Amino acid sequence: MAYSGRIFLLKVGTGTGSVGSETWTTIAGVTENTLTINDQTVDVTTKDSAGIRQLLDGVILQSMAMSGSGVVKDDASFKTLQTLMTSGAARNFQITVPGDNTAGGTYAGPFKITSLEMTGSHDGATQFSFSLESQTAITYTAAT
């Protein structure tokens, strides 16, 4: 089953504390999102491995990154991203991934904005793009 990309949402928290107590606001104007979940591995291959790569079991370092782009249509949303970028502070973000209870759900936790870019042409709307990196552990809640 296919899911609409418009359900794939990025929201920023008010910054009042834990993920559970946040009020979430959708970042306006985002038209494209990409979510990447990474697990860093540790290679433990030795000469006794018969030429076959061996990795240490378990999650060594997990991280999450998100990037997106869109149209600057809401001064408040873009100003929030701009302020977080220039302050270097992390803020709770919520990422809604489309799908049913086996594939869809929400990821939430502190992310740091690592890049923010604006572009504009004389005959088009001002565009922006951004990248986020997870700061600590991210929670996942399956869709219901």
Q: What percent of the chain has pLDDT over 90?
A: 39
pTM of the entire structure? Answer: 0.82
What distance in Å separates the CA atoms of residue 40 and residue 70, rounded to the nearest whole number? Answer: 30
Check residue 122 and give its pLDDT: 92
- What's the pLDDT at 49? 92
> Is residue 110 pLDDT above 90, yes or no?
yes
Tens of pLDDT along 62-106?
899 999 998 887 778 888 889 999 999 899 999 988 877 777 889
Lowest-confidence region among 15-29, 81-95, 125-139: 15-29
Residues 6+ apart with CB under 8 A from 19: 13, 92, 94, 108, 109, 139
